[in-house]
Amino acid sequence: MPNGHVTGVFDAQGSNYQAICSCGWLSSLSFLEEVDLLRAIHAHEVSVFGDRR
């Protein structure tokens, strides 16, 4: 398994954003704030790789 996932953030509809990951994960919600989507991407990474602090 790779050390990280390659993710992308895209404009979905109007002012909404969605994300996709190279592992096949796709955000199931469109987020109004890009920062909320970045939190969802971080939660996805922690759930896959654990907390690496």
Which structural domain range is residue 37 located in?
A: 7-49
Looking at residue 3, its pLDDT comes to: 59
**Chunked mean pLDDT (size 10), the chain, 53 residues:** 69 80 81 81 82 68
Looking at residue 2, its pLDDT comes to: 53
Structural domains of the chain, count:
1
Q: Quick one: which of 14, 12, 15, 13 has its CA closest to 26? A: 12
DSSP 45: H
In a domain, 2, yes or no: no
In a domain, 35, yes or no: yes
In a domain, 1, yes or no: no
In a domain, 31, yes or no: yes
In a domain, 44, yes or no: yes
d(CA 43, CA 47): 6
Looking at residue 8, its pLDDT comes to: 80
| Bridge-based pairing state of the strands 17-21 and 7-11 | antiparallel
Looking at residue 10, its pLDDT comes to: 80
d(CA 46, CA 29): 19
0.85 surpassed by pTM? no
